[in-house]
Amino acid sequence: MNLDDITLLEGAVMLGLVMTGLAMFLAFFRLVRGPSLPDRVVALDLIGIIAVGVIAAYDILTEQPVLLDAATVVALVAFLGTVAFARYVERRQQDE
Amino acid sequence: MNDVVTAVLIVVGGAFMLLAGVGIVRMPDLFMRMQAATKAATLGAGCMLMAVAVHFGELTVVTRALLVTAFVFLTAPVAAHMIARAAYSVGTPLWKGTIADEFRCENDRVGQSAGETSTAQRANPAAREK
């Protein structure tokens, strides 16, 4: 693709994708690094929310509004996963 | 015109997400990381979904974009609150520069001042009851 062919919108979407990708990398760094389980849960939640943003940007790039359904599902799974992990962290404390 | 609005919303949303990513790496303790991640990322996701709504401009797409936005805006604080409470009850250490721990005082109800309670008892997590 020639650089002159890129429209304003495409450039903005690509910039947005680069920034969200960088943010996802940073969140992944925190997920690997820890140090505690709640830190990892927060990082996982952040990755879920960033994935919604990536899907939204990709929607515009490919002109495919159908992908918004996938964004709904990702948001739902991220929320449920976070709540389940929060309960797990609390329960694990009580068992000890 | 629509393209300009969409482009601005996408870039602003991406910038907020990047801020959330920087915040979750750079902040010193879990609770600060969480506030950076939750608030900035939620606003970023909202901006990007609004960009989708503006770009397509059809009723079905706008409805779905608003639905996802509302869902994220409603669930992100709930999820953050649940992790924060769980992490606090497990005894996740606060940043050493923390001077007030109001949640701690609320649970104690012994009338100590915020500063004294937090630094003294936080330094020794084993001393906390329960």
More confident site: B38 or A3 = B38
- Does pLDDT of B121 surpass 70? no
Alpha-carbon span A57 to A18, nearest angstrom: 10
Domain boundaries, chain B: 2-92, 96-130
What is the end-to-end Cα distance of chain B in Å, rounded?
A: 60
Tokens encoding B46: 């909202």
CB contact under 8 A, B75 and A79: yes
Give which of B1, B72, B95, B128 to mutate to test A binding, by max A Cβ within 10 Å: B72
CB contact under 8 A, B64 and A30: no
Q: What is the mean pLDDT of chain B?
A: 81
- A65 found inside a domain: yes
* pLDDT on residue A93: 75
- Does pLDDT of A3 surpass 80? no
Provide the pLDDT confidence category of residue A1 given band limits of 50, 70 and 90. Answer: low
CA distance A42 to chain B (A): 6
Provide the pLDDT confidence category of residue B1 given band limits of 50, 70 and 90. Answer: confident
CB contact under 8 A, A16 and B10: yes
A28 CB neighbours in chain B (<8 A) are none
**pLDDT tens-digit series, residues A9-62:** 888 999 999 999 999 999 999 999 878 888 999 999 999 999 999 999 999 999
Q: What is the mean pLDDT of residues B87-103?
A: 79
Alpha-carbon span A65 to A67, nearest angstrom: 5
CA distance B54 to chain A (A): 10
More confident site: A22 or B113 = A22
CATH number of the domain within which A16 lies:
1.10.287
- Does pLDDT of B4 surpass 70? yes
CB contact under 8 A, B21 and A25: yes
Tokens encoding B20: 């959330």
- Sign of the Cα torsion A61, A8, B6, A78 reads positive
Tokens encoding A11: 């450039």
Alpha-carbon span B34 to B49, nearest angstrom: 22
Is A84 an 8 Å CB contact of chain B? no
- A1 found inside a domain: no
Range of the domain at A23: 7-95
Report percent pLDDT > 90 for chain B. Answer: 45
Interface size A-B, in CB pairs within 8 Å, comes to: 190
CA dihedral B62, B65, B66, B69 (to 10 degrees): -160
CA dihedral B101, B75, B48, B15 (to 10 degrees): 20
Alpha-carbon span B15 to B33, nearest angstrom: 17
Contact A49, B42 (CB under 8 A): yes
Contact B21, A22 (CB under 8 A): yes
- Does pLDDT of B62 surpass 70? yes
- Does pLDDT of B130 surpass 60? no
- A76 found inside a domain: yes
- A2 found inside a domain: no
CA distance A68 to chain B (A): 7
Alpha-carbon span B41 to B44, nearest angstrom: 5
Number of domains, chain A:
1
* pLDDT on residue B114: 45
Give which of B83, B88, B95 to mutate to test A binding, by max A Cβ within 10 Å: B83
* pLDDT on residue B107: 62
